[in-house]
């Protein structure tokens, strides 16, 4: 194998290449259940589900889906926060050879309707609290069934009994119909006898949606090979972590590629304990950390900023923490320093995208931490820096250019979007749209984005989507959205609006309008009214110029 710049920075024992097991993630679950049947797989607020129990529940729900007519290759939407039902559903879907379509439960009806139709989903599994939202759009989708999950079903006594009364009332008033079924009623009707694995290594297993520069979300097609390979790459990074010996807080949402791979699949493969947390807010995380002493705490930078801002967290004895995984946005140098000072643990920054399943680079485990970098490529992952306008021209080490990635974790393509796929997959290389540079030790830094994407609190926001909503406001003539620096979210959304002549509009009006049409994290936090937007000679809005203005303001401040 040709020597790569980053190999010299690999920790001892990390392989340059892997002899991959052709083991599906659901087969890994069964293996964990066989080897560690009584070990805790899921810990939901104190209710512990063993690996043997989890594998049995997956078999039960696999039978539910088959009896509902789900066949190999069918699309089943999962629209849930992190709950036991989320993992049970995903694994059951994969076990019967169907395709698990991940959906963000924070999405509005408009956003969900588009994704459900685009994915060809015939069944959706969601929270009972969200069922009214799905019922509103049901007629406009291809859905045949809605399966509702109670958020409190797997809570232990007495937390189950103390669940907020208002939510209990909502659940009680929910009546089942031919189209609406309840997860808890269904799963108990079936046995736990093993269900044969119907998934195949090269076949489509999962669709995870990502935004697009055109504002149209794209379903990233991930094969069983993509998912299993990426987990095995991640496992190889941590040579000293034994199976069934670690405990992780599930802060990344499973509907996001980071949570799907690093929380759901990695933990299951290694038979670790998953501390489930539906809403990873600092106080809730602190409570879990105090009670269960996790050895790893993953999260977006906002998670760590929030924890460090809490005096209680800073006063805790955290020496049991071995490491932190951070992704979705860069970690500030002072955040890395403070976490290291408090715990002595390794802080691993992870870089990738949904299209890379998502792990492409990671800070060397036990190696040098370089703030401002995202680590080095994991085994069997080749990265080159190419000219942003001509991907065939490779840049020299130290020169910035577009990051191109090749490896077994690269997606199959975008679902039903061959033209979009062709734009980013070139001769086996995935063109990320990110601008990066390698240092002399093979550490990658992401220095800019070729795309206009905004990353706020770890969520990807495509400005054109927000722009389109703003354009639909009857009093707005023109609008342009950019990302601006935010001490907590990393970036936040700012909207520049030109009001139609004779009309008046306030910032509150604009925000309220956006809240009706966009997920909360996409809503502009700042609105500036200007007389006109900067444009090229042919009338194209200069988004970058607006962003540059904001950067100059921040530098002066």
Q: Considering the chain, what percentage of its residues have pLDDT values greater than 70?
A: 94
Say what the pTM is.
Answer: 0.87
Residues 6+ apart with CB under 8 A from 31: 23
Distances (CA, A) of 365 to 10, 319, 340: 8, 17, 14
What is the CA angle 414-420-421, rounded to 5? Answer: 55
Element containing residue 317 per DSSP (H, E) = none
Nearest alpha-carbon partner for 145 in 63, 71, 76: 76
Q: Where in the chain is the domain with CATH 3.40.50.12780?
A: 1-15+225-451
547: enclosing H helix or E strand: helix 543-556
* DSSP notation for 127-161: EGGGHHHHHHHGGGS---EEEEE-TTTTPPTTTTT
pLDDT at residue 214, as a whole number: 46
Indicate the angle between helix axes 51-67 and 25-35, nearest 10 degrees: 140
Tokens representing 550 are 């904001």
> What is the pLDDT, as a whole number, of residue 173?
53
Sole residue written with tokens 């920054």? 349
Q: Tell me: the pLDDT tens digits for 372-382?
A: 899 999 999 99
Cα(299)–Cα(466) distance, integer angstroms:
26
pLDDT at site 176: 65
50-200 to CATH, choices 3.90.79.10, 3.90.1170.50, 3.30.9.40, 3.40.50.980: 3.40.50.980
CA distance 100 to 255: 10
Closest CA relative to residue 9, chosen from 323, 367, 362? 367
Determine the length of the chain. Answer: 557
Domain(s) labelled CATH 3.30.300.30 in the chain stretch across 454-556
Q: What residue ranges of the chain have pLDDT lower than 70?
A: 1, 158-176, 211-215, 536-539, 557
Instruction: Give the rounded distance of the alpha carbon of 381 from its chain centre.
Output: 20
Please tell me the distance from the alpha carbon of residue 476 to that of residue 294, in angstroms, as a whole number: 50
**CB–CB of 231/243 below 8 Å?**
no
Q: What is the dihedral of CA 69, 74, 79, 84, to 10 degrees?
A: 70
β 425-426/247-250 pair status = unpaired
User: What stretch(es) of the chain map to CATH 3.40.50.980?
Assistant: 50-200
Domain 1-15+225-451 has CATH 3.30.200.20: no
Token pair of 229, please?
A: 């390979």
CATH of domain 454-556: 3.30.300.30
Give the separation between CA 537 and CA 254, rounded to whole angstroms. Answer: 45
Residue 168: the pLDDT is 47
The fraction of the chain above a pLDDT of 90, given in percent, is: 76
| CA distances to 14, 79, 241 from 11, in Å | 6, 38, 14
């Amino acid at each position: 194998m040709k020597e790569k710049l980053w190999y010299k920075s690999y920790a001892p024992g990390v392989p340059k290449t892997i002899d991959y097991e052709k083991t599906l993630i659901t087969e890994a679950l069964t293996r964990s259940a066989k080897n560690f049947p009584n070990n805790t797989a899921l810990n939901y607020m104190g209710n512990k589900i063993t690996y043997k129990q989890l594998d049995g529940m997956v078999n039960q729900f696999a039978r539910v889906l088959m009896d509902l007519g789900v066949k190999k290759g069918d699309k089943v939407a999962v629209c849930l926060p992190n709950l036991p039902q989320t993992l049970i559903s995903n694994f059951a879907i994969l076990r019967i050879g169907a395709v698990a379509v991940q959906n963000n439960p924070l999405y509005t009806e408009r956003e969900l309707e588009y994704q459900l139709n685009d994915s060809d989903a015939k069944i959706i599994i969601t929270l009972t609290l969200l069922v009214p939202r799905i019922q509103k759009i049901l007629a406009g989708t291809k859905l045949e069934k809605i399966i509702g999950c109670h958020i409190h079903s797997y809570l232990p006594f007495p937390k189950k009994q103390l669940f907020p009364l208002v939510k209990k009332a909502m659940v009680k008033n929910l009546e089942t119909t031919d189209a609406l079924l309840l997860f808890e009623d269904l799963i108990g009707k079936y046995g736990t006898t093993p269900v044969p694995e119907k998934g195949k290594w090269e076949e489509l297993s999962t669709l995870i949606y990502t935004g697009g520069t055109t504002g149209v979300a794209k379903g990233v097609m991930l094969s069983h090979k993509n998912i299993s390979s990426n987990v095995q790459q991640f496992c190889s990074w941590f040579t000293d972590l034994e199976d069934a010996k670690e405990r992780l807080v599930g802060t990344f949402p499973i509907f996001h590629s980071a949570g799907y791979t690093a929380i759901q699949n990695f933990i299951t493969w290694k038979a670790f304990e998953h501390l489930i947390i539906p809403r990873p807010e600092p106080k809730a995380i602190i409570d879990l950390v105090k009670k269960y002493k996790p050895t790893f705490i993953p999260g977006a930078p906002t998670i760590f900023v929030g924890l460090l801002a809490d005096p209680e967290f800073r006063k805790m004895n955290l020496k049991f923490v071995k490491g932190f995984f951070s992704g979705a946005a860069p970690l500030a140098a002072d955040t890395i320093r403070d976490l290291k000072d408090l715990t002595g643990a390794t802080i691993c920054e992870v870089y990738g995208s949904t299209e890379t399943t998502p792990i492409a680079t990671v800070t060397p485990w036990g190696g040098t931490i370089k703030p401002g970098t995202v680590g080095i490529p994991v085994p069997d992952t080749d990265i080159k820096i190419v000219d942003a306008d001509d991907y065939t021209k490779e840049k020299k080490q130290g020169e910035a250019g577009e990051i191109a990635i090749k490896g077994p974790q690269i997606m199959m393509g975008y679902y039903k979007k061959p033209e979009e796929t062709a734009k980013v997959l070139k001769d086996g290389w995935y063109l990320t749209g990110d601008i990066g540079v390698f240092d002399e030790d093979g550490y990658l830094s992401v220095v800019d984005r070729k795309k206009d994407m905004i990353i706020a609190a770890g969520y990807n926001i495509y400005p054109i989507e927000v722009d389109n909503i703003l354009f639909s406001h009857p009093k707005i003539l023109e609008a342009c959205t950019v990302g601006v620096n935010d001490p907590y979210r990393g970036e936040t959304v700012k909207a520049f609006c030109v009001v139609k002549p004779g009309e008046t509009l306030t910032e509150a009006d604009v925000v309220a309008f956006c809240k009706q049409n966009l997920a909360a994290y996409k809503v502009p936090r700042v609105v500036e009214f200007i007389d006109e937007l900067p444009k090229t000679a042919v009338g194209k809005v200069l988004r970058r110029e607006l962003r540059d203005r904001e950067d100059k303001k921040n530098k002066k401040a």
